[in-house]
Amino acid sequence: MTRTAKILHLAALTAAATLYIISTSAAYAQSRANCGPRDAVVQRLAEGYGETRQSVGIGSNNAMVEVFASDDTGSWTILVTMPSGVSCLVASGQSFEQVAEALPAKGSDA
């Protein structure tokens, strides 16, 4: 392999590595932008979207999973709070409806 070819290969590898680092850093920064102290996140959901807590449960690793929604606008948000107190928005959307469906009868194929 000639010296010029080696330099071109090195330049290509450097460019690829740089693009990879930039793309993964941007994804990490985006995911961190959806997290913060629970009190601040809940206040933002209330003031910005009129959402209140509709349900709560404990998930894996003792994470608290909450659904917030607005009866007025139909917006909803799923919030996961880790034991450390850091809360992250994991999903959101529109057309929230509260339902209370009965379990199907035993032996039913439903």
User: Which residue matches tokens 């379990």?
Assistant: 103
Query: Which residues on adjacent β-strands are paired with residue 81?
Result: 64, 87
Tens of pLDDT, residues 10-65: 444 444 444 444 444 444 444 556 899 999 999 999 999 999 999 999 988 899 99
Give just the sign of the alpha carbon dihedral 97, 103, 105, 108. Answer: positive
Residue 101 lies in a domain: yes
Residue 18 lies in a domain: yes
Same domain, yes or no: 10 and 58: no
Same domain, yes or no: 28 and 50: no
CB burial readout 77-99, b (16+ within 10 A) else e: bbbbbeeeeebbbeebeeebeee
Residue 110 lies in a domain: no
| Per-position DSSP letters for 45-71, written without gaps between them | HHHHH--EEEEEEE-GGG-EEEEEE-T
Q: Are 59 and 78 in contact (CB under 8 A)?
A: no
88: containing domain: 35-105
Same domain, yes or no: 71 and 28: no
Predicted confidence at residue 5, as pLDDT, reads 54
Same domain, yes or no: 92 and 41: yes
Predicted confidence at residue 28, as pLDDT, reads 42
Same domain, yes or no: 54 and 26: no
Same domain, yes or no: 19 and 71: no
Number of domains present in the structure of the chain: 2
Tens of pLDDT, residues 36-48: 999 999 999 999 9
Same domain, yes or no: 25 and 44: no
Residue 85 lies in a domain: yes
